Structure 1
């Protein structure tokens, strides 16, 4: 907080708590819950704390889960994701009440989105149907061939497509052939690379 010039009052406002609560956490008088710790870390652009699970929660013949490091990232809306690049902070106050665990350690601020629509649903090969949770890592440079999250100038929301290149021009390609190729204009923004996709049953 000192390095980023964030006061206790400012942090309290972002987290929706009192300045006294933040002061107690910083001087060790009280210990915040893990969820609040990770919200504070997210405000600072730091990775979420890992969670060690007990050995009793494991599948037969599996490696002990206590040796696995898990990380929590917020599930945010497409509208929030679309405005993310313009925000001063990675996540605006009140950005999420929901978090998902993964063993993936992000290179930069990361968040989950639930896929909407069928533009990334394909009848063959890679397919990411509606309802899938995708993890976006803003710390990984989007490059051709990767699945990316982009913000188009004509939309307030983010869009999820495959980044492709042809003759030096970048395009956003849906996996569903029924949808058109989108030219990546200079005023469009790439918000991050998709690193995980979990289908919720």
Structure 2
């Protein structure tokens, strides 16, 4: 497991931010950060704000581990009329589907009871009946969503700016996972990993749902 100092330095590098700027945004001084490094973790009062500034999972930042968590829910609560959702899933489980199937999920979801998924995961929390899960392939959404983890996707959640969405475009048969950015009337698809380029959302794009949870091994 990595040390907090290593995770902090890695996150600062990915964010292109200095420790001085980080401390300024967090409204602390250098001594606070030095103290966190010596105790190998952020104080609870500043943890979520620090994670938001660095755009990382707060649990990973503080402990180096991932678990089931809401994606950016702490600072990006879904703008959803929850009366339109149901807390009851199919036999209490969510189907894990392929990225190709996700691209056509809006057509399959109406017959969800007849869909024979190869794998199911337990339902956690409230979600719509069309909710599904996907295995992440690749590192374009790291550190927010690690390669190999599973995301839970709810098509009933509005795709607001800064939400992580599953989307298909450019005639692709497979969907992909990116962060939706809406600026100046235009829509962009932003990987959380800065090594990958930001893409413009094309006219033929179909949003297949909003990622609401990550399931990963500790």
With the length of structure 1 as denominator, give the TM-score of the two structures.
Answer: 0.59
The structure, 1 or 2, with the larger RCO (C-alpha pairs under 8 Å, 6+ apart) is 2
Alignment of 1:49-198 (within 5 A): 71-87=92-108, 89=110, 91=112, 94-122=115-143, 127-198=144-215
Q: What 5-or-longer segments of structure 1 have no aligned partner?
A: 1-44, 51-70
Looking at structure 2, the residues matched to 177 and 92 of structure 1 have their Cα atoms a distance apart, in angstroms, of 39
TM-superposition CA deviations, 1:29-79 (whole Å, max 9, x none): xxxxxxxxxxxxxxxx994256xxxxxxxxxxxxxxxxxxxx310011111
RMSD across aligned positions (CA): 2.4
Cα deviation digits, residues 128-148 of structure 1 (max 9, x gap): 111110000011111101111
Distance (Å, rounded) in 1 between the aligned partners of 2:164 and 2:207: 11
In 1, Cα distance between equivalents of 2:182 and 2:89: 34
Whole-angstrom CA distance in 1 between matches of 2:88 and 2:131: 8
Alignment match, 1:48:
89
Quick check: which one's helix share is greater? 2
Contact 1:90 1:109 in 2 (8 A): no
Deviation at residue 172 of structure 1 after TM alignment = 0.8
On the 8 A contact 2:96/2:121 being kept in 1, the answer is: yes
Structure 1 runs of 4+ with >4 Å offset: 90-95
Question: Is contact 1:47–1:109 with CA below 8 Å preserved after alignment?
Answer: no
Q: Please say if residues 89 and 128 of structure 2, whose CA atoms lie closer than 8 Å, have aligned partners that are also in contact.
A: no
Greater share of residues in strand:
1
Contact 2:190 2:198 in 1 (8 A): yes
Structure 2 unaligned spans of 5+: 1-85
TM-score normalised by structure 2 residue count: 0.55
